[in-house]
Amino acid sequence: MSELQKPKAKPLALRLLAIAVVMFGFGFLLVPLYDIFCAITGLRAPIEQVAETDIANSDIAAREVTIEMVANRNNSAPWEFRPSESIKLVDTGSIYEITYFARNLIDEDLTATAAPDIRPVEAAKYFKKIECFCFVAQEFGPEESKDMLVRFMVSKDLPKHIDRITLSYTLYATPKVAGNN
């Protein structure tokens, strides 16, 4: 009877291996696929990166806007992640800096990527990033902590009905790719 079961065991093992490989591949591609999904559906508007020299002065008077900072992480992620301040009052047309604090909580090297989000979505095109930790992967040594910078401005062209903007980052673990140490 065991000889009859052996031929069935090999195809089953191959199927289970294929399922595991597909699941790993899907997990690896989840963040890029989410970005594509958001671009297609418009759920998460892209946030512009600009150089300081690209910031044009307009004749529109500056006004005060509340920026709310939020930090999210995967529940199983082995790090602490939070904004240095949760609310900041800014004037449109001026450049500001805020930081997000992150700490690796384990004894291994980690690489993280931050995905930004702006709410309301309509405000995203008026929120101009000059410098951001989200532009590049962040490397953390064992138990290392760092303050990560965001330099930004809110355009004076921001519609009048928007007086509060939420800047949210979600920190994801980035798998090590061959050749990256």
- The total number of structural domains in the chain stands at 2
Contact 164, 86 (CB under 8 A): no
Looking at the DSSP bridge assignments, the partners of residue 166 are 68, 119
125 and 54 in one domain?
Answer: yes
What predicted TM-score, i.e. pTM, was given to this entire model?
0.67
The answer as to whether 178 is a domain residue is no
Q: What is the pLDDT along the chain (181 residues), one digit of tens a residue?
A: 455 555 677 888 888 899 988 888 787 777 777 777 766 665 555 555 554 444 555 567 889 999 999 999 876 788 899 999 999 999 999 999 999 999 999 999 989 889 899 999 999 999 999 999 988 899 999 999 999 999 999 999 999 999 999 999 998 887 765 444 4
Task: Tell whether 31 and 104 lie within a shared domain.
Answer: no
Same domain, yes or no, for 34 and 59? no
Is 33 among the domain residues?
A: yes
Same domain as 128, residue 102: yes
Beginning with the edge strand found earlier in the chain, give each strand of the sheet holding 64-73 in spatial order: 87-91, 64-73, 164-173, 110-119, 138-140
Give the span between the Cα atoms of 117 and 102, in whole angstroms.
18
Domain that residue 38 falls in = 1-43
In a shared domain, residues 27 and 60: no
Q: Helix or strand or coil: residue 177?
A: coil
The residues facing 90 across adjacent strands are 65
Cα–Cα distance for residue pair 81/145, rounded to 1 Å: 10
